Structure 1
């Protein structure tokens, strides 16, 4: 006869498995809708439970690359996904992108070249990969001779909490416009 402890453990296990399945479904819905920040939150929770899950690692990497969060945070997850026994076919390319965002240009070039060697003809346009390699080569040259510039925070009325892109100042310097 079952004692109360065994029944309680069985009920808790069923509830936990049901919750995980529901969370996985929610992750895939958020991901397919392009809500990468929402999917990332859920994926990080799932990844804590299954850190050897290469699919979660891949999806986390994709999420980081598609948000305004530090894209270099995708590196560790995509390294795991790309070194998997059955990696997603784009994992090596995306690892190159993550290395690129982390300023690891030589590693990015190696990943892009590895992707080119193993890519199927139906895969990502290889011209795009060649262009990424060219960008890395250019970036390496720019890093050899950095420009002497400085940035100044113009106060809370100008800068936002989000990354601010594409500042524009006219020649008379009368105003500043940017996109965030």
Structure 2
């Protein structure tokens, strides 16, 4: 699905959020590797589960065509600084829900980009009769958890010792969900 472009200004920095375009694919491929290497909060280490330009082109086309999917990018001065996706399925038993994922380049943390991406996704979900939005978050990522809770998410479960990081330690993953305010 495609959304209307939105513009923001926070702490003197202007940015826009828009639907991903096929022409973004090469940048997104490189950016994903960069972002995976900037924080332990992502599921992957830099370069793992690599998606090349053609792979991103396919994802962007699919997301634009499907009413169950949304792919957004945040752009600062012509540079993609963040992206997020809501990915649904055509399976009838799960068609009422989507999974949300987001990542923001470290140099753009603190400007509310992730929060605005989340808000736009939730508005889209509500307008499109998506009954449930799910996500997974590292249990130690307290800032993200607070943000999600402020937007109606609740912890539905804990995957204990779900991840092992480079430090050799195991970490839990929280499964969170947000139900539509008014169910159809």
TM category (shorter chain) comes to under 0.3
From the two aligned structures, give the one with the greater strand fraction: 2
Q: Which has the higher contact order (CA 8 A, sep 6+)?
A: 2
From the two aligned structures, give the one with the greater helix fraction: 1
